């Protein structure tokens, strides 16, 4: 989706609301396609005192698979992003802002949302922070309880340590 920002660049006080859904269902992440639900983007882009600032939030429900226990689960995401939109970067521009360059005054919002989202998503997918995963030996989901093979596999170097605490 391309937004025409030519007028917005020229008129101080000009503003455009953003409210749209994107379909990222073809997008791959960690070998799966997690965007089974529409990605909702709301926000605004505004020219304030000649500075064009874009702020938006991205909401969706992702279908993911836990890296440890392989369970499929859904995760609600709600991220916020902000950018300063410029026609060209100048050396004076502050590094701390996340600039988007629109030389022709056209902003590809879909592309920007996709890039922001990919950077924001965690690289490790866990169904919960303390997921215990599967037993490497019998494959049992250790979140549901421990298995019999677990204790026998302790590294001998750790055995002495674990004896101290047992
Ligand atoms: Zn898990
Ligand atoms: Zn086991």
Residues with CB under 5 Å of ion ligand 1 are 66, 68-69, 127, 131
Question: Which of the four pLDDT bands, split at 50, 70 and 90, describes residue 94?
Answer: low
User: pTM of the entire structure?
Assistant: 0.80
Percent of the chain with pLDDT over 70: 86
The H-or-E segment that residue 158 falls in is: helix 156-165
Cα separation, 41 vs 21, in Å, equals 6
Tally Cβ neighbours within 10 Å of residue 67. 14
Could you report the per-residue pLDDT of 104-151, keeping only the tens digit for each?
999 999 999 999 999 998 888 999 999 999 999 999 999 999 898 856
Quote the ligand 2 centre to 103 CA distance (angstroms).
59
pLDDT (average), residues 69-94:
89
Instruction: For residue 138, give the ligand nearest its CA.
Output: 2
Strand partners, 74: 63
Domain residue ranges of the chain, discontinuous segments joined by +: 2-131, 132-166
Burial zone of 52 (CB within 10 Å; 0-12 exposed, 13-18 middle, 19+ buried): buried
At residue 90, the pLDDT reads 78
């Amino acid at each position: 989706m391309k937004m025409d920002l030519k007028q917005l660049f020229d008129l101080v006080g000009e503003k455009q609301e953003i409210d749209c859904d994107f379909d990222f269902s073809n997008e791959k992440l960690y070998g799966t396609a997690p965007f089974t639900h529409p990605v909702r983007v709301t926000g605004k882009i505004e020219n304030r005192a000649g500075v064009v600032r874009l702020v938006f939030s991205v909401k969706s429900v992702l279908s993911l698979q836990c890296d440890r226990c392989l369970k499929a689960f859904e995760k609600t995401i709600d991220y916020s992003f902000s950018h300063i939109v410029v026609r060209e970067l100048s050396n004076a521009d502050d590094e701390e802002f996340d600039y988007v360059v629109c030389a022709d005054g056209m902003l590809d919002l879909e592309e920007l949302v996709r890039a922001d989202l990919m950077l924001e998503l965690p690289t490790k997918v866990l169904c919960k922070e303390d997921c215990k995963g599967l037993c490497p030996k019998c494959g049992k989901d250790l979140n549901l309880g421990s298995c019999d093979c677990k204790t026998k596999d302790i590294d001998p170097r750790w055995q002495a340590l674990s004896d101290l605490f047992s």
